[in-house]
Amino acid sequence: MPGRKAYPFDVIEPKWQHYWFDRELFRAADPGEMGSEKPKFYVLDMFPYPSGSGLHVGHLEGYTASDIVARYKRMKGFNVLHPMGWDAFGLPAEQHAILTGTHPAVTTKQNIDNFRRQIQSMGFSYDWKREINTTDPSYYKWTQWIFKRLFEKGLAYVAEAPVWYCPKLKTVLANEEIVHTPEGPRSERGNHPVIKKPFRQWFLKITAYAEKLLEGLELVEWPESIKEMQRHWIGKSEGAVVKFSVEGKDIEIEVFTTRPDTLFGVTFLVLAPENPLVTKLTESGFKELVEQYCAATSLKTDLERTELSKNKTGVWTGSYAIHPITNEKLPIWISDYVLMTYGTGAIMAVPAHDRRDYDFAKTFSLPIKKVVTAERIEEETDCYTGEGITVHSGFISGLATKEAKEKIIQWLEEKKLGKRMVQYKLRDWLFSRQRYWGEPFPIIWKENAPILVPDEELPVLLPDLEDFTPTDEGIAPLARKKDWVELGNGLKREVNTMPQWAGSCWYYLRYCDPSNKETPFATEKERYWMHPHGVDLYIGGAEHAVLHLLYARFWHKVLYDIGLVSTPEPFYKLVNQGVILGEDNQKMSKSRGNIVNPDAIVQEYGADTLRLFEMFLGPLQQSKPWSSKGLEGPHRFLARVWRLFMDEDGEGLWMLRKDILEEEAPTHILRLQHQTIAGVTEDIENFQFHTAIAKLMTFVNELTKEKKRWKKVLEDLLLLLSPFAPHICEELWQKMGHKDSLAYEPWPKYDPKYLIDEEIELIVQIDGKVRGRIMVKKGIEKEEVIRKAKETEAIGKWLEKATISKVIYVPDKLLNFVLEKNLKSQ
| Binding residue numbers for ATP | 590
Residues 181 and 184: their CA atoms lie apart, in Å, by 5
Kindly report whether the peptide bond that precedes residue 634 is cis, defined as omega within 30 degrees of 0: no
Q: What pairs with residue 423 in β-bridges?
A: 237
- The answer to whether 690 touches 705, Cβ cutoff 8 Å, is no
Residues 725 and 591: their CA atoms lie apart, in Å, by 33
Strands (E), 573-666: 574-576, 580-581, 624-625, 646-648, 654-656, 660-661
Residues 320 and 304: their CA atoms lie apart, in Å, by 28
The torsion of the CA quartet 132, 136, 141, 144, rounded to 10 degrees, works out to: 90
- 312 alpha carbon, distance to own chain's centre: 37
Q: What is each CA distance from 307 to 315, 338, 343, 423, 568, in whole angstroms?
A: 18, 11, 18, 21, 37
Task: Using alpha carbons only, give the angle 774, 780, 784 rounded to the nearest 5 degrees.
Answer: 75
- 365 dihedral zone (left: phi>0; alpha: psi -120 to 50; beta): left
- Known binding-site residues equal 590
Q: Is 696 helix (H, G, I), strand (E, B) or coil?
A: helix
Contacts (Cβ under 8 Å, ≥6 apart) of 104? 93, 94, 96, 97, 436, 437, 468
Q: What is each CA distance from 157 to 9, 173, 437, 467, in whole angstroms?
A: 57, 17, 22, 29
- 52 alpha carbon, distance to own chain's centre: 24
Residues 608-643: b if buried by 16+ CB within 10 A, e if exposed: bbbbbbbbbbeebeeebbbeeeebeebbebbeebbb
**Residue 470, amino acid:** P
- The answer to whether 63 touches 116, Cβ cutoff 8 Å, is no
- The answer to whether 634 touches 684, Cβ cutoff 8 Å, is no
- 134 alpha carbon, distance to own chain's centre: 21
Question: Closest by alpha carbon to 345, among 253, 231, 234, 235?
Answer: 253
Size of the chain, expressed as the number of residues it contains: 826
Contacts (Cβ under 8 Å, ≥6 apart) of 191? 179
Q: What pairs with residue 667 in β-bridges?
A: none
To the nearest 5 percent, what fractions of the chain are helix, strand and coil?
40, 20, 40
- 357 alpha carbon, distance to own chain's centre: 36
- The answer to whether 50 touches 115, Cβ cutoff 8 Å, is yes
- The answer to whether 373 touches 385, Cβ cutoff 8 Å, is no
* H-run or E-run covering 253: strand 249-257
Q: What is each CA distance from 675 to 70, 696, 702, 704, 751, in whole angstroms?
A: 23, 10, 13, 17, 9
* H-run or E-run covering 246: strand 236-246
Q: What's the Rg (C-alpha) of the chain? A: 35
Residues 620 and 705: their CA atoms lie apart, in Å, by 31
Residues 31 and 66: their CA atoms lie apart, in Å, by 23
Residues 196 and 705: their CA atoms lie apart, in Å, by 70
- The answer to whether 202 touches 148, Cβ cutoff 8 Å, is no
